[in-house]
Amino acid sequence: MWQTEHVAARLRARHPGLAIEIVGMTTTGDRILDRPLAEVGGKGLFIKELEVAMAEGRADVAVHSMKDVPMDLPPGFSMQPFGPREDPHDAFVSPRFARLEELPPGAVVGTSSLRRECQLRRAFPSLVIRPLRGNVNTRLAKLDAGDYDAIILAAAGLKRLGFGSRIRGTLTQALALPAIGQGILAIEHRTERADVAALFAPFVDAGALTAATAERAVGQVLEGSCDVPLGAHATVDGDSVTLEAFLGLPDGSRLVRERATGRAGEAQSIGESLGRRLLAAGGRDILAQLSAMP
């Protein structure tokens, strides 16, 4: 809702006469909080109801965190980034410990992201990783109640909601690559609505668009979803883009990671090529193991 209010405010500022109605919806992903997303349907649980509303004409656009959007949109829908990217990294939050490295063996860390779990288990095998679902307030409340020694959340979400002071530090890219599209706001609309696309075109940030294109191209090659521990991050510097991505098993026992650099205008092909390199480096075996898991 914060993201939607932010988008609405930016639209009103640019188009003072534009009438905007916010239609709040609670999605399946918001309602099912007792199980990891990978067990109940993945990222699509956060957006399906919104797409139905657009298809039925009850809404013109949907506002998403791009990291929650499946790699392939349904036919007839398009998406574009909104504004520049916020901090894409994962944040370490703990009332007792200043750094992830300070956690003692057996400390309990909360996250329901298989991507985070894979990287944390690989770097800190002595930690106990436990599921953590709910909105940001709920997760922080569980931390403060002592259910966890620390939790890992997206830095962007904490900052946008005014909880930036809770961040003890962000995980380095060397330790934990973020989710595809993390920190990027996205606008989804029906492809046929050229008028909507034109309305939001001035808010498309070139750097965010390049990063999103490269990262999502990796995900499309690697079948990226909630049940695949996968991360990617693109750094854009002028006309140059550097992309890093990894694929692994939830327990951290296997992980492949690759890096590529190229021109920003070739972001799609850079991402696709890097995805194929990951598959060749062991990613195919990892995906086969993931498919065989109960």
Could you tell me how many residues make up the chain? 294
**Angle (deg, nearest 10), helices 267-278 and 206-221:** 30
30 classed as catalytic = no
Sheet holding 169-170, edge to edge: 128-130, 108-110, 150-154, 90-93, 169-170
| Cα gap 203→79, rounded to integer Å | 13
| Cα gap 15→277, rounded to integer Å | 45
| Cα gap 135→46, rounded to integer Å | 12
Strands 128-130 and 230-237: unpaired
Rounded to whole angstroms, what are the CA distances from 186 to 22, 116, 166, 227? 16, 22, 25, 22
Amino acid identity of residue 242, one-letter, is: T
Are the CB atoms for 228 and 285 separated by under 8 Å? Answer: no
Helix (H) or strand (E) holding 261: strand 255-263
| Cα gap 184→3, rounded to integer Å | 11
Give SS3 for 287: helix
- Name the catalytic one among 68, 87, 149, 205: 68
Catalytic positions, please? 68
